[in-house]
Structure 1
Amino acid sequence: MSGTPPPGAPPPGVSSSGPTHTGPGDQHIHYYGGGDGDARRLADSARGKAPRAVAEDELRWLRRRFIHPAGYEAAYDTLAARHTVLVDGAPGSGRRATARMLLLDLPRTGGRFLELPPAKEAEEQWLDPDQVGDADQLLLDMSGADDLTWHDAEARLSAFRKAVADRGAHLTVVLPRHADRRLSPEYAALRVPISRPPGLQLEHDLIKRYLRLAGLDPAAADPLPAVLREHLDRRPPLRDVAELARLLCEAGQAARPGQTFRDWCEAALAAVSDCGVEVDTLVKRQRRAPQRALLLSAAMLHGVRADTVHQASDTLLAAIGHPENTTSPLERQGLGSRLARIEAAQTDDGRVRFDRLRFDAAVRDHFWDNHPDLYGPLRTWVQNVLTLAGLTDEDREHLVARFAEQCCRTRRAEDLFALVESWTAGRDRGPSIRAAAQLLGHGVEDPRIGAECRARIYRWSTDGRLSGGLRKVLIGVCFSVLALRHPYAAAVRLHHLAAREAPGTEARDTLVELVLCDARLHAWMLARLAAPAAQRSRATDRALFLALAEPRGLLGTATPLLAEPDVSRCLTEGWRAVFAEAPPEEWRGPVRAWFDAACGDAPAAFRHWLLDILVAAGAVNGAWARLYRTARAWAREVPGAHPERGALPAVLMEKISRSQRGRSPRNEGTSAP
């Protein structure tokens, strides 16, 4: 990365002849809501916080619960010394969590935490060195990659690693299984295997830490009961141990007086054991459709009021086309008896729950695994149930999350997409739109279908026939969910949405907000705008350029973006397009902001660069004359405010004259103003 240029030097990529003296003298993301239907307000339903804040929250959550595996210290030393480490280990050894914690444990000097996609997607350049920022923390999870993809990654990593080291950034790579057999010598020295130490100390520590963070006594787990030791001796994956620890906490918090830690263990172990046989037996006992509809409704609406669960079961029967029950309501079994038949009950506050932990999840899994003919009706049912008056906002969020989990677990992203499109097709701007944002956000975050969701969002974003509701959902999810780990992918999709946005500027404004909080993303977006594409709107690109060319964003960082040669070249190209295509009233305000910066707001070393860029870009369509007239009008507005202000038109004239004298007669130009 280029350093700060010396005073008096012309900006890279800009030709300037003669003196350029202009006179004596020397990110954050904010999140806000708007009116009903505002895209960034919809992002609140998807995640609730700005991307950087969410990333920091997740890392802090991991730090509090992480237990170091064997090999962690060697991996940390390699990462600190070489800026890159390749984390290897058996599945279930905690490779991904270790890769993230290694980055988190480094001394923080700024930068971003970014998760790199494991393969090329849409228009984004994969492992692009230009996307590495100063002191970034970068994670590349290749654990699911095949041999061909890993070979492609190896070929790209050399240049990428150089940028990582040059910018003081750090990269952790999770290797595919058995990749050590195929590693080139260049990468073999960076490979560090991690593993679970022998015995159960790591698992024991993990369980005690979860108990403490849940407000329970960690000493209750000393010593581990035999029933728990027997389960852990089978060496389940660490992610499963973490889930077991979470269930232990849930069992402890719901425990009745007199129950011991062993009772918590039995409840938690029953929850993580395969309940398939028990659920299958229970479903077979429910021979009639109304009974099975109540069972599935209770599982999908676990914790909802009983009367609403009853109403939802009738809605499910209607969705599958079951004939109406002609039996008089007075002759039917009471709801309590019907719930008892499906091994559920009402709590004291009238809500339906199964006694066993996670039994509701096992019931949901059963129906999705064994009744594929229900996929379509269940989409219709979820859409209809969402409008039931008896549901609270929290109930709706749980319903959407449970449907999303089944789509992710069974890798049926199309069911998720179909429901998002259905929810956003109408005029509703309430629960359905928020649910669509939440549903799509779940898919984007899930590693099983995340890549498929990103691809579908790209296809949607390039479609000029989107409904208004779907457009708002996409804007919100791109800003608040996709940008969390994949900001470049989010920017590409927002750019396409902005290019097809009429009327309104929600996508454009959201893209500007996202880009201006991140210096590397800012530079990358300027380069993208400098390379026009036929499928984009030139008017939109000009408006985006003028918003991103605001001097504070270019000069307000420790190492100003303007110091980078590529950024200066992109600014010149951008201004050239603006001067060639836009009427003066469109660019006068931004040009005046550059004049303000050139007369005091900018660091002294950069003030003349701003004028040089404008002059280099202005040799088209008589722009020099209009630029000079704008400078004279600007200088007269506040007489005597700065000595440089009155001198700027003359300085600008001198730069234009020198530039004009250096031009070839066959080049396009105009008379000097």
Structure 2
Amino acid sequence: MTNFSFTQISGVNGPVQTSNAPLNIGNYYQNAVLAGVTTRSPRANAVDDLERIWQRFVYPSGFGRARELLETYRIVLLDGAPGSGRVAAAKTLLYELFSGDERFRELSWEESDGKHRLDPDHIGDDDRVWLDLSGVEEQIWRDVQNELSAVRNAVAEHGAYLVVVLPGNRGERLRPEFGPYLAKIDRPPAEEVLRRHLRLMAVPGAVTSPTTPLLTGYLDADPPIQEIAIFAGLVAEAWANTEGDLANWYAIAHEALTGREQEVAKDVATLAEGPQRALLLAAAMLHGAHVDHVYRAATALLNTLGHPEDECPLLERPDLVEQFQKIDVEINGNRHVRFRKLGYDSGVRAYFWNQIPELRDGIQTWVEKVVDSADLGQEDCGRLVTRFAEQCLRHEYRQVLVGSVLRWSRGSTTKRRLWAAGLALRCGLTAEKHGRFFRQQIYSWSHNRDLPEGLARVITVMCAQVIAVHHPDEAMVRLHHRARREERNTIAREALVQLVNGDSRLRRQMLVRLIVLSPDGWRWEVDPGLFLEFADPAALTDRGSRNHPFIADADVRGMLAEGWRRVFTRCTQEMWRAPLRQWLYVALGDERNREVLLDILVESSEGRGNILGLLYAAVRNMPRPAADDQERHTVFRDIVLRKICAVQGIRIA
């Protein structure tokens, strides 16, 4: 036996942030939402995720063909049967092309006027991108095919790579022009997938032990590859808690995998008293917690449901050991509780949620109250919130989880409440089938000027450190909406600046939002300052990995000129004096881009004498250079003067 412990929390990733620097969005709220969690950058987190997939990946038949197509055309359309591991194959294909600096992201479709569209601008230089269409409806599949050509062109233009995961076995219905990029993969050998997972978890005998008839029957049924990974985790948990050999652990894991809800139903029928059933549910929701915490939680559940108090004298009641024995729960040497049967806790949670629908509101209220318990440790609180979220992560119950997030983060909030709200949202955002729904929910919240302060902080952290991992464009949009609506605090603005400054493609997207999508000017107080933040001349002239400075793009130059025009005509000199000085310093020192930088400023004046006067005054007021640099400074000043005269139609002799 060993101290190995395996906890299956499907789809929950640790929070991350945008750069390697600490995200400064207010220590109280950041610590409240992320208490006890190590912070990493989205880029590092994305790479780590893909590396974990690659370590467990078993190469299927057809993968080599997919690799060749991707390397040749920079795009491959991956087909295969549902459950064959297509998404994992897509990520592995991209991970194999990773050299250390590229960004991984998922491409999402947007719905507009009943159509589903892909935005080619979401493809950046050297990006590794996947588009998961594995579970989409027929209409989405048809619409997206209309967009693929434009996206393919963007991929080629930016030197990126794209893997598209098709809906199951749809390759034969692909448009002819996409046929050359189609590759079909088969299921990898199921037994090898299982052994790979077990080896990585160091389960004894995983390499040499023969396959049992039970295991052969299970694997021959072609379970989804993702389910095999879950099964492997259950085998590891059985090894950690049960004597025996691999065959025994296989049998225990298989019994747990097939579900125990019916078994639980029979057992609950033998528990006639409410306190027994409350203790059973509390033990399942806090499985692994200290016995005192479980008992207090059971008492809180009874109080929440308005159950009559026990009139039996205290000394005549059964002790804790007897009460837990009746529900088949054991108390270990550290006085922590666990069910004797693997997976029984999951069956209990599912039974009470699915079979007693009148109890759902009570469970929700109870969980919200227990989170406030002062003696409940953070680990146990995390168990409770995560297991509650598991029950809610079905299409018909997602709004229940949304309601709990709202209640935890409004009114008189505490660090524990904000942490619970963040954890619940993180569970939703990182759940494969529900992430889109929760991103849309945060989008809706981000527009609300009257959003509760606590919730505003929670969604800011979720955008900057969870959504930004694979959907940075969506994180940027939501943070911008929040930044525009902040009245006193600036944490969303700070998070937005940090996100955009780490990605040149997002810098362009923000200029589009600030200039093109705001053609009538800046109605929001924060936008002029954001423009000056993102119009950083050093970043604009950086040549990047493709030796092509951002400012070389004519559309970018036009947006910059319009932005400076608005700054000069609508903002105080106090706001733009320092950014203008920085712009001029970069122009002075960068001979290659000097003309372009100065042309943008001059163009922004539209020939207005007052603005040109301010510009020339800024040049004249630059600190006096050292003696050996006076000539360069004089030349620079003359260039500025010549450009000012030219735009005014004045000829210099």
Structure 1 length-normalised TM = 0.89
Give the distance between the partners of 1:133 and 1:381, measured in 2 at CA.
46
CA 1:582–1:640 in structure 2 vs 1: closer, same or farther (change >3 Å)?
farther
Counterpart of 2:539 in structure 1: which amino acid? Answer: G
Q: Quick one: structure 1 residues 33 and 336, their matched pair in 2 at CA, closer, same or farther if it must change by over 3 Å?
A: farther
The one of 612, 616, 619 equivalent to 1:628 is: 616
Confirm or deny: 8 A CA contact 2:234 2:253 kept in the other structure. Answer: yes
AA matched with 2:599 = D
Change (3 A) 1:337 1:437: same
Q: Distance in 1 between matches of 2:129 and 2:231?
A: 29
The reply to whether residue 551 of structure 1 matches residue 537 of structure 2 is: yes
Matched residue, 1:492? 477
Trace 1:103-502 onto structure 2 (pairs within 5 A).
Answer: 103-108=94-99, 110-120=101-111, 126-196=117-187, 202-219=189-206, 221-256=208-243, 259-409=244-394, 411-502=396-487
The match for 2:13 is: none
- Give how far 1:135 is off: 1.5
- More deviation in 69-78 or 179-188? 179-188
What is residue 527 of structure 1 aligned with on the other side?
A: 512
Supply the distance in 2 between the matched residues of 1:639 and 1:412 (Cα, whole angstroms). 73
Taking a change above 3 Å as real, the CA distance of residues 64 and 535 of structure 1, as seen in their structure-2 partners, is farther
**2:625, 2:633 within 8 Å by CA — same for their partners in 1?**
no
The equivalent of 2:592 in structure 1 is 605
CA contact (8 A) 2:291 2:336 kept: yes
Q: Please report how far the alpha carbon of residue 499 of structure 1 lies from its aligned counterpart in structure 2 after TM superposition.
A: 0.4
State the one-letter code of the partner of 2:536: E
Which residue in the other structure is 1:7 paired with? none
Q: State the alpha-carbon separation in 1 of the partners of residues 417 and 502 from structure 2.
A: 30
Equivalent residue for 2:528? 542
Aligned residues: 630
Between stretches 564-573 and 298-307, larger displacement belongs to 564-573
| Counterpart position of 2:582 | 593
Q: 1:241 to 1:341 in 2, by over 3 A?
A: same
Amino acid at match of 1:67: V
After superposition, what is the alpha-carbon deviation per residue over 1:45-94, rounded to whole angstroms, capped at 9, x for unaligned?
Answer: 78732211211111111111111112111111111112111111111111
Separation in 1, partners of 2:105, 2:426: 17
**Which residue number in structure 1 is paired with residue 10 of structure 2?**
none
C-alpha displacement of 1:219: 4.9
Deviation at 1:191, TM superposition (A): 2.0
Determine the C-alpha separation between the residues in 2 that align with 1:439 and 1:512: 26
The Cα of 1:555 is off from its aligned counterpart by 2.5
Cα 1:526–1:160 shift into 2, 3 Å: same
Q: CA deviation at 1:102?
A: 1.1
Matches of 1:47 and 1:582, distance apart in 2:
41
- Structure 1 portions without partners, runs of 5+: 1-26, 664-671
Deviations 1:471-515 (A, max 9, x none): 100110000001111111111110000000011211111101001
Q: 1:73-126: CA deviations, max 9, x gaps?
A: 111111111211111111111111111111112253733111112443899994
Aligned counterparts of 1:610 and 1:438: Cα–Cα separation in 2: 46
Could you list the per-position Cα deviations for residues 21-55 of structure 1 after superposition, in whole angstroms to 9, with x for gaps in the alignment? xxxxxx95433456542448735778732211211
Query: Which sits farther off after the overlay, 633-642 or 425-434?
Result: 633-642
Q: Which amino acid aligns with 2:526?
A: T
Task: Name 1:93's counterpart in structure 2.
Answer: 84
The residue identity in structure 1 corresponding to 2:119 is: D
Q: Is 1:564 paired with 2:549?
A: no
Q: 2:644 pairs with 646, 650, 656, which one?
A: 656
The amino acid across from 1:422 in the alignment is: R
The Cα offsets for residues 448-470 of structure 1, whole Å up to 9 and x where unpaired, read as 22222111111111000011111
Give the alignment's Cα RMSD to 1 decimal.
Answer: 2.5
Percent identity of equivalent pairs: 37
Residue 189 of structure 1: how far off its partner (Å): 2.7
Structure 2 gap ranges (5+): 1-17
Higher mean displacement: 147-156 or 280-289: 280-289
Classify the secondary structure of the residue corresponding to 1:87.
Answer: strand
Q: Secondary structure at the match of 1:315?
A: helix
Judge conservation of contact 2:24–2:494 (CA < 8 Å) in 1. Answer: no
User: Kindly tell me: are residues 504 and 107 of structure 1, through their superposed partners in 2, closer, same or farther at Cα, counting changes over 3 Å?
Assistant: closer
Distance 1:535 1:584, change over 3 A: closer
Q: Specify the code of the residue in structure 1 equivalent to 2:463.
A: C
Contact preservation (8 Å) 2:199, 2:207: no
Distance 1:535 1:586 in 2: 17
Give me the whole-angstrom Cα distance separating, in 2, the residues matched to 1:345 and 1:121.
55
TM-superposed deviation, 1:218: 4.9
3-state SS of the aligned residue for 2:229?
Answer: helix
Letter in 1 for 2:284: A
Deviation of the 1:178 alpha carbon: 4.2
Q: What residue number does 1:17 align with? A: none
Whether contact under 8 Å (2:125, 2:160) holds in the other structure is yes
Helix, strand or coil: the match of 2:183? strand
Greater CA drift, 496-505 or 393-402: 393-402
Letter in 2 for 1:626: L
Counterparts of 1:44-63 in structure 2, within 5 Å, are 48-63=39-54
Secondary structure (helix, strand or coil) at the match of 2:77 reads: strand
How far has the Cα of 1:375 moved from its partner? 2.3
**Residue type of the alignment partner of 2:567:** V
In structure 2, the CA distance between the partners of 1:346 and 1:40, relative to structure 1 (3 Å rule), is: closer
What is residue 42 of structure 1 aligned with on the other side?
A: 33
Tell me: CA distance 1:589–1:218, structure 2 relative to 1, closer, same or farther (3 Å): farther
Q: Offset of 1:397 from its aligned partner?
A: 1.5
SS at structure 2 position matched to 1:314: helix
